[in-house]
């Protein structure tokens, strides 16, 4: 199978790792601790229920590990986990740490106009910490 990361996902952040056939990306907005899990699946598979039972378990295990990292590293009050894909149809799962003091609370992070790109040092530190 040939897999190509959607250009919009590739341009929106930094690749942290590949775990069990899933790309893990850090969204380039330091206002929110926001990671994406992008399973390397065939074109046309967009939603979790379309995965084989085995692949479903593998993908959700990666989501669980990424969620644990976001929770431990960024210490949010709440985690939001969603496979939405309305604008980018390639399957990807958002894992976003939220706090009641963040600028989008209680709304959605993608509707927020608050943005701050990560510095190279911040990305390097998150990459080092992410070494799961």
Residue 100's CB is within 10 A of a number of other CB atoms, namely 9
Strand partners, 14: 26
pLDDT tens readout for residues 56-86:
999 999 999 999 999 999 999 999 999 998 8
- Full-model pTM: 0.95
Report yes or no on 1 lying in a domain: no
Residue 90 lies in a domain: yes
The neighbour count for residue 128, using CB atoms within 10 Å, is 8
Position 28 in a domain: yes
Phi, psi of 23 (to 5 degrees): -80, 140
pLDDT, residue 102, reads: 96
Domain presence at residue 27: yes
Indicate whether 38 belongs to any domain.
yes
Please give the tally of structural domains in the chain. Answer: 1
Examine residue 83 and state whether it is found in any structural domain, yes or no.
yes
Mean pLDDT of the chain: 95
28-62 pLDDT, tens digit per residue, is 999 999 999 999 999 899 999 999 999 999 999 99
Residue 131, pLDDT score: 85
* CATH number of the domain where residue 84 is located: 3.30.428.10
The verdict on residue 2 lying in a domain is no
> Could you tell me the residue range of the domain that residue 17 belongs to?
7-130
Residue 2 has pLDDT above 90, yes or no: no
**Residue 99 and residue 31 in contact, taking contact as beta carbons nearer than 8 Å:** no
Cα(83)–Cα(36) distance, integer angstroms:
10
Kindly tell me if the per-residue pLDDT of 23 is higher than 70. yes
Q: In this structure, is residue 99 part of a structural domain? A: yes
Convert the pLDDT of each residue in 80-126 to its tens digit: 999 998 889 999 999 999 999 999 999 999 889 999 999 999 999 99
What was the pLDDT predicted at 132? 60
């Amino acid at each position: 199978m040939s897999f190509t990361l959607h250009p919009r996902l590739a341009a929106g952040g930094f690749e942290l790792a590949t775990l069990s056939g899933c790309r893990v990306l850090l969204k380039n907005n330091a206002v929110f601790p926001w990671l994406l899990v992008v399973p390397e699946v065939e074109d046309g598979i967009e939603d979790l229920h379309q995965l084989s039972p085995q692949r479903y378990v593998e993908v959700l295990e990666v989501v669980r590990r990424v969620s644990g990292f976001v929770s431990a590293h960024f210490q949010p009050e709440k985690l939001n986990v969603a496979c939405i894909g309305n604008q980018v149809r390639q399957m990807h799962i958002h894992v976003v740490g939220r706090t009641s003091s963040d600028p989008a609370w209680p709304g959605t992070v993608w509707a927020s106009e608050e943005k701050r790109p990560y510095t190279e040092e911040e990305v390097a530190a998150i990459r080092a910490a992410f070494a799961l």
